[in-house]
Amino acid sequence: MTDWTPYTARAKDWFEDLRNRICAEFEAIEREAGSDAAFDYLPWQREEEGNDNPGGGVRGVMKGKVFEKVGVNVSTVHGTFAPEFARTIHGAEENPQFTATGISLVAHMANPHVPAVHMNTRFLTTARAWFGGGADLNPPIPRDEDTEEFHAALRAACAAHNPTYYERFSKWADDYFFIPHRGVHRGVGGIFYDHLECTGQDGEESGEVAAWERHFAFTRDVGSAFLDVFPRIVRRRMDEPFTEADRKAQLEWRGRYAEFNLVYDRGTLFGLKTGGNIDAILMSLPPQAVWN
């Protein structure tokens, strides 16, 4: 069976590098808008009784002129799932010990014409090892041009690896980012994937490593596609005039976003159940929202 430790380290390095490039690009956009806003970074350590190496992460948050609130988190954590929660995690019933490394990003924008966005990619090991993640666009006021460009970037990233990925993963996003009690989708979609397993024929280690390399390459391309397309959309919309009615629509939409993340989002639950940093877990919540 493969020792995933060096592969976890490679994934961690990539997620941190992607974080650095995304944050630099978002700060550059703030400079273009005449703002000196920058990310504040807060390291945190996870705690777990009897665990000498529980891991932790870094929470990065910026509040600026264009980005009303954007959080970019990276973490690498190790531990043991509680028995009840282990039954809900892929492979954890066989082995409740886990390692997880990943990046998570949520941006809430000042201008209602600039879509909010979510992006997350991760690598997790229990008795099994797999990648998951995706990106989805969440505009309060949808614009066809932005939606089509965002999907086109993710479609191209998928097509470079598997001709079935985009159709499968875009449907998965539509199904996942849905608010049942409202009967509405959270946004205009994107892609969502999970349990891309690193398995080889008959459990051969060489096959596991080859699968890891394939899925890691795909996960990198998802992150790179996001970094390419989202700043273009921001720059296109950030100077558009908006009305009080537009702002009202944005704040009401943000309430729906908050409802999904607090009630249905699996990443939120994972963080809370594994002793993650509360502020990092809940950084996805908007700075302002209304319910009428």
> The domain that contains 135 carries what CATH number?
3.40.1500.10
Is the pLDDT score of 90 beyond 90?
no
Query: Does residue 291 lie in a domain region?
Result: no
Q: Residue 93: its pLDDT value, please? A: 76
Q: What is the H or E stretch that residue 73 is in? A: strand 67-80
Asked, for residue 22, whether it belongs to a domain, the answer is: yes
Q: Which residue has the tokens 């005449």?
A: 34
Is 292 within the bounds of a domain? no
Q: What is the pLDDT of residue 201?
A: 61
On whether the CB atoms of residues 58 and 286 are closer than 8 A, the answer is no
Cβ atoms of 125 and 99 within 8 Å: the answer is: yes
Annotated catalytic residue 118: yes
Q: What are the tokens at 189?
A: 């979609």
Domain tally, the chain: 1
What pLDDT was estimated at residue 272?
Answer: 86
94 in any annotated domain: yes
Q: Residue range 255-264: average pLDDT?
A: 95
Report pLDDT digits (tens) over 38-70: 999 999 998 888 888 899 999 999 999 999 999
Q: Does 202 score more than 60 pLDDT? A: no
The one catalytic residue among 113, 118, 151, 185: 118
Tell whether 243 is covered by a domain.
Answer: yes
The region that residue 189 occupies, defined by phi over 0 for left and psi between -120 and 50 for alpha, beta otherwise, is: left
Q: Has residue 133 been placed in a domain? A: yes
Q: What are phi and psi of 10, to 5 degrees?
A: -65, -45
- Give the residue numbers spanning the domain of 51: 5-284
Q: Is 290 inside any structural domain?
A: no
Within-domain flag for 289: no
